Amino acid sequence: MVNRLFFLVIAFVAGISSLVEAATVGNIIDRFEGEYTGLVPGAEVGRSVDGLLTMHTFVRRVAQPAFGDDVVYLEQRYGGPEGSITRQRIMVFDEDAEGIVTTAYDFFDGAKYARADAAPERLAGLSPEKMYNFPEGCRIRWLEEDSGYVGTVTRQHCEIVSRSDRGNVFVDMVYRISGDAYTLFEQGFNASDRFLFGTKTAHSHRRLPRRELDTELENILSAFEGSFKNRPHDPTVTRQTNVIGNLYTNVRTVHLPAFGGKTQYMEFRRGGPDGAVIRQRLNVFDTDPNRVANVMESYEFGDGAAFSGAFADPAKLNGLKPSDLQPLVTGCEIIWSTVSDVLTGISDRTTCHRFNERLQVWRHVSYVFLLDNESMHLWEHSYAPEGNLIFGSSVPIRFPRVRSNWN
């Protein structure tokens, strides 16, 4: 009997060892990366909303050498992909004597890093000392389980000093990752074992299928291509009535290999097709096959007079390089999605902070583009850092298409 028990114990230990060895950092991250959606009871996540809330989660491997070789960015939103951010983490995967472990870092000011899954350059300059580092006992330990992976944190080891005056918090957490879902179960307790926060049950969120980004990009380029004309005056424009005037916009796809992606030249004129040029942009779309969304980075022309009319004569742009132009600051990248068949590009004022050279002040700017093949809609707002609106319209300004292509 003793021998039989001995061999059973050896077999059990060997089984655990094989689980640890079977799970690799690369396998876990490959399975974890993606976009997820699910439903969470509002009461369970501290939201005064009856019924269920949509939880949207973005997970992406990012290059952050200051943290390590295997780094993941996680962003969770309630209310859908554009909802309020409730969690942002830098998660660093590593191996030690006990197996695979993840160290999580929290942001002190996460808003300006929003959607770093799609625009990871927003994380540039971050390092562990600039973030909140959870205690060592709160590191996530991983094992392979049922063709997936499970990561756990136990309150016996995870004690966190509360940042909301609730005293020390002891946390239980379970991550489960499978081929089609991501599940999170988290609860917090005080030193007297009284429940403080968390969910009653684990919430599973299904993995969304990978988007056809190449097709979406071609649709964006096609919908942008051509000429657009807005109404002569737009009474919805806040504090700028009658200043908008008659805007004429020309957009044309151009071939500029130095920019490393698909490029379009955009020119705004006031007063009609032959009016004064008031804005020139070169919009560059990333074409990395591993991208998670279509992202548009815009460049401005310092002195664009020599390039005026490049929509009609693209040869004016020949030889142009990124160093010849001024990119919009990091955080102003436009991230695209398709919403109810409408192509939607957004950059939010929480990430887009621009310095106004003329006034020598900072402005927080939001951009929204809506393309429906018949019109271009542009919604642009500028705010002071204190939050008061400087410029903007109550609804997107519509530019009906007057020309479809340049053939």
Q: Tens of pLDDT along 186-196?
A: 999 999 999 88
Burial class of residue 185 in the structure, from the number of CB atoms within 10 Å of its CB (0-12 exposed, 13-18 middle, 19+ buried): middle
CA triple 234-236-237, angle to 5 deg: 80
- CB count within 10 Å of CB 269 equals 21
Q: How many CB atoms within 10 Å of residue 57?
A: 22
Give me the pLDDT at residue 392, please: 87
Instruction: Quote the mean pLDDT of the chain.
Output: 88
Please identify, in words, the CATH class of the domain defined by 21-207: mainly beta
The pLDDT of residue 20: 39
What amino acid occupies position 11?
A: A
Instruction: Tell me how many degrees the CA angle 337-341-342 measures, rounded to the nearest 5.
Output: 60
pLDDT digits (tens, 9 = 90+) for 262-308: 999 999 999 888 999 999 999 999 999 999 999 999 999 988 999 99
CATH code 2.40.128.590 region(s) in the chain: 21-207, 213-403
Q: Which of 95-109, 167-181, 194-208 has the lowest mean pLDDT?
A: 194-208
3-class DSSP state for residue 245? Answer: coil
- pLDDT of residue 208 exceeding 50: yes
| The CATH number, out of the four listed (2.40.128.590, 1.20.120.530, 1.10.10.10, 3.40.1710.10), of the domain defined by the range 213-403 | 2.40.128.590
